[in-house]
Amino acid sequence: MTVLTSTVDPTASECVANREAMLGKLAEVDAEHAEAVAGGGEKYVARHHDRGKLLARERIELLLDPDSPFLELSPLAAWGSDYTVGGSLVTGVGIVEGVECVVIASDPTVRGGSTNPWTAQKTYRAADIAAQNRLPVINLVESGGADLPTQKEIFIPGGRIFRDLTRSSASRVPTIALVFGNSTAGGAYLPGMSDYVVMVKERAKVFLGGPPLVTMATGEESDDESLGGAEMHSRTSGLADYLAVDEQDAIRIGRSIVRRLNWRKQGPGPVTPYAEPRYDAEDLLGIVPTDLRTPFDPREVIARVVDGSDFDEFKPLYGPSLVTGWATLHGYPVGVLANAQGVLFSEESQKAAQFIQLANQVDTPLVFLHNTTGYMVGRDYEQGGIIKHGAMMINAVSNSRVPHLSVLMGASYGAGHYGMCGRAYDPRFLFAWPSAKSAVMGPQQLAGVLSIVARQSAAAAGREFDEAGDAAMREAVENQIEAESLPMFLSGRLYDDGIIDPRDTRTVLGMCLSVVHNGPISGAGGFGVFRM
């Protein structure tokens, strides 16, 4: 047991400035979250309510256990696109009758809840989380189907939505659809592929083709109810297993279904009781410098995230730019990898590769706390084998089979993003602090590289180099890369699962750890060939 000692002075001017900057960014994130929560806006929300219907989040709140936590996923999907922030869908991990479930609710106030490319991406991500963590899926359905003008981006890849549902079922993880309204055409396969289907009387409408299409196809005259009403599906087609008298009733039935799943988590439970950190999470706002070129000690973060601020550091004297060590978080054992000085050298890479293997050896989940500018470049380092050492780390992280959780605290640049289990390396969850930035390299470096290349090209061609043009180019590129490396942009593209308040890090990781333990926790039996 090694209790970390903190040297953070929250009253120091630097901390205060950092805190102010972080609070400013959080306010921006909050404003975007509010945008997502507002859905289709006042008018459509009012219209929806006037129809006696509940909003997506109202349905979710009723579905969840009272006073239980809910981790909304990808809330800023579609940020920076032409579509409404949130992607006309609410997804998240919540607790229903004591069972952690993935909840997917279409937001009918946004273009009738229709599926646009971002809606699809967000659905895929939720399905991945359900599959990787062995979580039952509850779909709260009321969607106008595909956004037809963008069908080219949805139709072909979107087939996986239904595939995922039945694969979940096949892997003995139940799926439930509560149908509150439209679920037609392709959308009909949401209930169609689910294990349990509840339909709301006089509201659910589930058919492959509506009356006009049927008329066009066969000349048959029909109506909504006979083609796809809840009563019909409950009494005649058998597609609905339960007929709900209203939305609340559908949710009540949905909860009772989950209660009867006899759900048992396959991973070990947390060790209780556990101690809260000794240091105030509030300090986390002041730890990350406003300029990411200034490093910070990740132990100050670890001391505010892990149980009892108790952290047994592994190999503390070797490769000190990467902190590795063991702790528990909400009672779950974890191995932590956290960047300390930004740069990953050969020593850090080898240390990480070893540490990851150790965690796999004893089935311990890993937490990656990112603040890296990447692997070191330069003659000495290349000659020292930085590529093969970095590759060892990436090999280890790629083939590790224990659950990984990634948090982007600050920089996450270059191959360092890969080695620290970036998005492409399938961490079970990946969240960003508002202070995070992620790109192939820093904006200035990138613009500078472009400038140098252009200057060399001009020199080679004997052209006169346009300094003014170069300066303008550098500024434009810098601005663009800066904008595209910010968390809101990345979150909008679903490169993370959400931007979190640093003070919530322990809660978010605690919830994720509980979630990952729905499946078995089992380390890798082997890795790729380590290049020595």
Q: Does 53 bind another protein (CB under 8 A)?
A: no
- When binding is defined by CB under 8 A, the residue of 177, 508, 516, 521 that contacts another protein is 508
Nearer CB in complex with another protein: 69/210: 69
Q: Does 57 bind another protein (CB under 8 A)?
A: yes
Task: Choose one: 153-161, 190-198, 212-220, 242-250; the region binding another protein (CB under 8 A).
Answer: 242-250
Residue 102's closest CA among 144, 58, 134, 142?
134
Task: Choose one: 53-61, 366-374, 403-411, 456-464; the region binding another protein (CB under 8 A).
Answer: 53-61
Can you state the angle between helices 247-259 and 56-63, rounded to 10 degrees? 40
CB of 483 to another protein, least distance (A): 23
| DSSP bridge pairs for 3 | 310
Q: Does 455 bind another protein (CB under 8 A)?
A: no
Task: Choose one: 186-194, 214-222, 366-374, 506-514; the region binding another protein (CB under 8 A).
Answer: 506-514
CA 139 to chain centre: 18
Q: Does 530 bind another protein (CB under 8 A)?
A: no
Q: Rounded distance, CA 523 to CA 358, Å? A: 9
Q: Does 71 bind another protein (CB under 8 A)?
A: yes
Q: Does 291 bind another protein (CB under 8 A)?
A: no
Q: Does 155 bind another protein (CB under 8 A)?
A: no
Q: Rounded distance, CA 354 to CA 400, Å? A: 11
* Pair of tokens at residue 138: 């509850």
CB of 33 to another protein, least distance (A): 5
Q: Does 270 bind another protein (CB under 8 A)?
A: yes
For residue 308, give Cα distances in angstroms to 9, 41, 273, 504. 19, 44, 11, 16
Q: Rounded distance, CA 165 to CA 194, Å? A: 6
Q: What is the 3-state secondary structure (H, E, C) of 71-131?
A: EEECCCCCCCCCCCCCCCEEEEEEEECCEEEEEEEECCCCHHHCECHHHHHHHHHHHHHHH
Instruction: Yes or no: say if 194 and 166 are a contact pair by the CB < 8 Å rule.
Output: no
- When binding is defined by CB under 8 A, the residue of 21, 95, 161, 288 that contacts another protein is 95
Nearer CB in complex with another protein: 270/298: 270
Q: Does 381 bind another protein (CB under 8 A)?
A: no
Q: Does 11 bind another protein (CB under 8 A)?
A: no
Task: Choose one: 15-23, 213-221, 245-253, 475-483; the region binding another protein (CB under 8 A).
Answer: 245-253
- When binding is defined by CB under 8 A, the residue of 66, 149, 238, 378 that contacts another protein is 66
Q: Does 453 bind another protein (CB under 8 A)?
A: no
**Tokens 């999907």 found at:** 77
* Pair of tokens at residue 394: 């990436």
Nearer CB in complex with another protein: 36/146: 36
Residue 72's closest CA among 104, 35, 40?
104
Nearer CB in complex with another protein: 38/208: 38
Non-local (6+) Cβ contacts of 338 within 8 A are 298, 299, 301, 302, 322, 323, 324, 368, 369, 371
CB of 506 to another protein, least distance (A): 9
Q: Does 255 bind another protein (CB under 8 A)?
A: yes
CB of 284 to another protein, least distance (A): 11
Instruction: Yes or no: say if 121 and 246 are a contact pair by the CB < 8 Å rule.
Output: no
CB atoms under 10 Å from CB of 45, counted, come to 16
CB of 240 to another protein, least distance (A): 16
Q: Does 507 bind another protein (CB under 8 A)?
A: yes
- When binding is defined by CB under 8 A, the residue of 10, 15, 45, 58 that contacts another protein is 58
Q: What are phi and psi of 202, to 5 degrees?
A: 65, 5
Q: Does 98 bind another protein (CB under 8 A)?
A: yes
- When binding is defined by CB under 8 A, the residue of 160, 252, 278, 455 that contacts another protein is 252
- Footprint (CB under 8 A) of another protein, residues 323-342: 330-331
Non-local (6+) Cβ contacts of 424 within 8 A are 418
- When binding is defined by CB under 8 A, the residue of 302, 373, 501, 527 that contacts another protein is 501
CB of 401 to another protein, least distance (A): 23
- When binding is defined by CB under 8 A, the residue of 124, 155, 162, 274 that contacts another protein is 274
Residue 178's closest CA among 203, 148, 153, 208?
203
Q: Rounded distance, CA 288 to CA 436, Å? A: 9
Q: Does 405 bind another protein (CB under 8 A)?
A: no
- Residue 113 Rama label (left phi>0; alpha psi -120 to 50; beta): left
CB of 246 to another protein, least distance (A): 8
- When binding is defined by CB under 8 A, the residue of 50, 67, 82, 380 that contacts another protein is 67
**One-letter amino acid identity for 310?**
D
| DSSP bridge pairs for 328 | 333
Nearer CB in complex with another protein: 439/511: 511
Q: Does 498 bind another protein (CB under 8 A)?
A: yes
Task: Choose one: 124-132, 229-237, 247-255, 412-420; the region binding another protein (CB under 8 A).
Answer: 247-255
Instruction: Yes or no: say if 436 and 408 are a contact pair by the CB < 8 Å rule.
Output: yes
* Pair of tokens at residue 305: 């995230």
Q: Which residues bind another protein (CB under 8 A)?
A: 33, 36-37, 57-58, 61-62, 65-72, 75, 95, 98-100, 245-246, 248-249, 251-252, 255, 265, 270, 272, 274, 281-282, 330-331, 498, 500-501, 503-504, 507-508, 510-511, 514
